[in-house]
Amino acid sequence: MQNSENPVQYITVGNDDDARNIGIIVRPAKAGATGPTLLWLGGYRSDMSGTKAVELDRFASEHGLACIRFDYSGHGVSGGDFTKGTISRWLDETLAVIADQKPKSIIAIGSSMGGWIALRLVQELKKLKTATIDGLVLIAPAPDFTAELIEPNLSDAEKASLAERGYFEEPSEYSPEPNIFTRALIEDGRENRVLKGMIETGCPVHILQGGQDPDVPYTHALRLMQFLPADDVVLTMIQDGDHRLSRPQDIERMLQAVKDMAFSAKPQRS
């Protein structure tokens, strides 16, 4: 779903054979407006044309806020080989998008794997000091999902496939194409773990979690909270919610969380 008002633009990340074109849709802030930039971070095999991302962009338009959506390499309109994708690679692309657009104050909205990337993004931006994360809205967040949710549950056949072919496949509930999990993704995931010590985001965090999520169990959200003792954390448990949390009532909860953060934060130019 391309936005005719704000068309897709591209930046190139990587060099030579590793170069990939990353598609971005940017909604500028309303003239004279102050406030954080909303940054959408999608999930594994998701893209910026999904319901939640589009609704976030609409919300930004209504409230005069800047909004950045983009597709990781191998996703949506971006180039690159999906099977080369890792948390490090997609994090690098996120940082490249931020370097290109230069927002100063960000509220990051991360869905599923995007929640993991959001938490890693906080850590990297603290080192770079180029932008600040002033709020996190994490939807069915899946930090460390490769080590916490995939590796412990691998079957013998999947382990053999990883060893012999470098990947394994499993049926997807959301696509006719199977999910592909590579050895590179799993090995890189171990290097990007965040559930290993206190996570200090320095900003408010609102977690939205479905009680009926078949992919990321609600216990994972509870586990994440244990690593955020220093932050202002709100967990909204949606008892009948699934993994996507894309129903109208779920979208409303997401947008309310974003609104609370965007307009309670100290105004800054984005």
Residue 2 maps to a domain: no
pLDDT digits (tens, 9 = 90+) for 29-60: 998 888 999 999 999 999 999 999 999 999 99
> What pTM, to 2 d.p., does this model score?
0.94
Residue 188 maps to a domain: no
Residue 46 maps to a domain: yes
Q: For residue 67, give the 3-state DSSP assignment.
A: strand
Residue 206 maps to a domain: yes
Residue 182 maps to a domain: no
Structural domain range at position 87: 9-143+197-262
pLDDT digits (tens, 9 = 90+) for 69-123: 999 999 999 999 999 999 999 999 999 999 999 999 999 999 999 999 999 999 9
- pLDDT, residue 171, reads 86
Residue 169 maps to a domain: no
What's the number of domains the chain is made of? Answer: 1
Q: What count of other Cβ atoms lies within 10 Å of the Cβ of residue 177? A: 10
pLDDT digits (tens, 9 = 90+) for 176-214: 888 899 999 999 999 999 999 999 999 999 999 999 999
CATH number at residue 237: 3.40.50.1820
Give the orientation angle of helix 183-191 with respect to helix 87-101, to 10 degrees.
70
Residue 82 maps to a domain: yes
Instruction: Quote the mean pLDDT of the chain.
Output: 94
Residue 268 maps to a domain: no
